[in-house]
Amino acid sequence: MKCRVCREPAIIDVRRQNANYCTEHFLRMCRDQVTKAIERHDMLSPGDAVLVAVSGGKDSLALWDLLLDLGYRADGLYIGLGIGEYSDASGACARAFAEARDATLVEVDLRTRYGFDIPNGAKAARRAPCSACGLAKRHVFDEAARLGGYDVVVTGHNLDDEAAVLFGNVLRWQTEYLGRQQPVLPARDGFPKKAKPLIRLGEREMAAYCVVRGIDYIVEECPMAAGNRHLGYKEALNQLEATSPGTKFAFYHEFLDKAAERFVGEADDAREALVACDSCGAPTPSGTCAFCRLTARAQVEIRA
Ligand code: Q46
Ligand code: ZN
Ligand code: ZN
C-alpha cells in the first residue's frame, strides 16, 4: 500500500477517494478538505474570532487542531453536562488538548451556572436527555459567542453525521429540516453564525487524524446516546458505503449542490418572528425561551 502522492508506505486508505496516504500527505489531505469546505461554503474569513464547540471527542478536538494549524484564531468552549464519568473524562481530554496547544478553553459547568445537570434536569423537565442536552448546548454556545464577541461558532459534525441526519430527514420527508440542513447558517436575530468545517471528512479519518497527531480523545460514546435513531442510520449508510465507496459523500454533497436550495423556503415559512427572552435576552418566538423554562422547571423540581 503506497501513498498516492509520494509513493512511500501508506498508513491509511480512503476508499471513497480510491487513495492511500502516508502520514504527511494524510494530514495535508485533511487540511485541504477543511480549507475546501470553508471556502466553498463561505464558512470563515481569515480574521474571524472562532469559537469551537468542544466535547472532548475526536471530531471537535481534530477540528480545533486543524483550525489552529490553518492559522485561525480559535478558542474552545467546553460545557460540563454532568453526565458522570463520561463528562469527567471528556473534560479532561479537552483541558489536556488546550494546555498542549497553548489554546484558550472557555468552560461552562451546567450545575454551577444553572443549578442542574443533564441527567437530573431532563428528568425534572420530563424531556428526553438528548433533547434537554441539545437545547442547553445551543443556548450556552449562542450566549458564549454573544458575550465573548465571537464571529462564528463551529462544530465537529463530520460527513458521517451529516449524511445520517440527511438520511433521517429524507426517510420522513421532513422538508422543514431539509431546508435548515446547511453546513453554514448566517448570523441572524441575535444568533451567531454557525459552521461545520468537517463535512468533507469521515469519522474514520477523524479518529486516524487524532492518533497521528497524538491527540487524546474520549473514545466512549455518551451513555445517554443509546437508542439514538441516528446510530441506526449510520449503520445502514456504512453498509451501502462498504459495497459502493463514495455513496455517503455523493448522497450528502450532491444534496447540497443540487437539492438543498429547493427546501430553504420551507424553513423560512416555519420561522417565526423572534423577540428577546424576558429572562435571559436570547431570541425566542415569545415570552420566556425554552432554555429558561427548562432551567426554571429543573431548579424547582431539584430543590423540592
Ligand atoms: S452528549 Fe447530550 Fe449527546 Fe449525550 S445527552 Fe445526548 S446530546 S448523547 S451528542
Ligand atoms: Zn506521501
Ligand atoms: Zn431565556
- Residue 108's pLDDT is 97
Query: Nearest bound ligand to CA 80?
Result: 1
Least Cα distance to 43 among 35, 51, 52, 31 occurs for 35
**DSSP per residue over 105-119, as a string?**
EEEEEHHHHHS--HH
Where are the alpha helices (H) located in 82-228, listed in sequence order? 84-101, 110-114, 118-124, 129-148, 159-171, 175-180, 203-213
Predicted confidence band of residue 274 (pLDDT cuts 50, 70, 90): confident
C-alpha 11 to ligand 2 mean position (Å): 9
Residue nearest to atom 5 of ligand 1 (CA): 130
C-alpha 24 to ligand 2 mean position (Å): 6
Residue nearest to atom 6 of ligand 1 (CA): 130
Per-residue pLDDT of 40-99, as tens digits, reads 999 999 999 999 999 999 999 999 999 999 999 999 999 999 999 999 999 999 999 999
Least Cα distance to 44 among 73, 78, 65 occurs for 73
Per-residue pLDDT of 279-303, as tens digits, reads 998 888 889 999 999 999 988 877 7
Does the structural domain 42-270 have CATH classification 3.30.930.10? no
What per-residue string of b and e applies to 43-81 under the rule 16 or more CB within 10 Å gives b? bbeeebebbbbbbbbbbbbbbbbbbbeeebebbbbbbbb
What per-residue string of b and e applies to 144-172 under the rule 16 or more CB within 10 Å gives b? bbeeeebbbbbbbbbbbbbbbbbbebbee
Q: How many Å apart are CA 10 and CA 141, to the nearest integer?
A: 39
118 ligand 1 Cβ < 6 A: yes
Least Cα distance to 158 among 19, 33, 267, 51 occurs for 33
Q: Which atom, in ligand 1's list, is nearest to the CA of 134? A: 7
Per-residue pLDDT of 236-271, as tens digits, reads 999 999 999 999 999 999 999 999 999 988 777 666
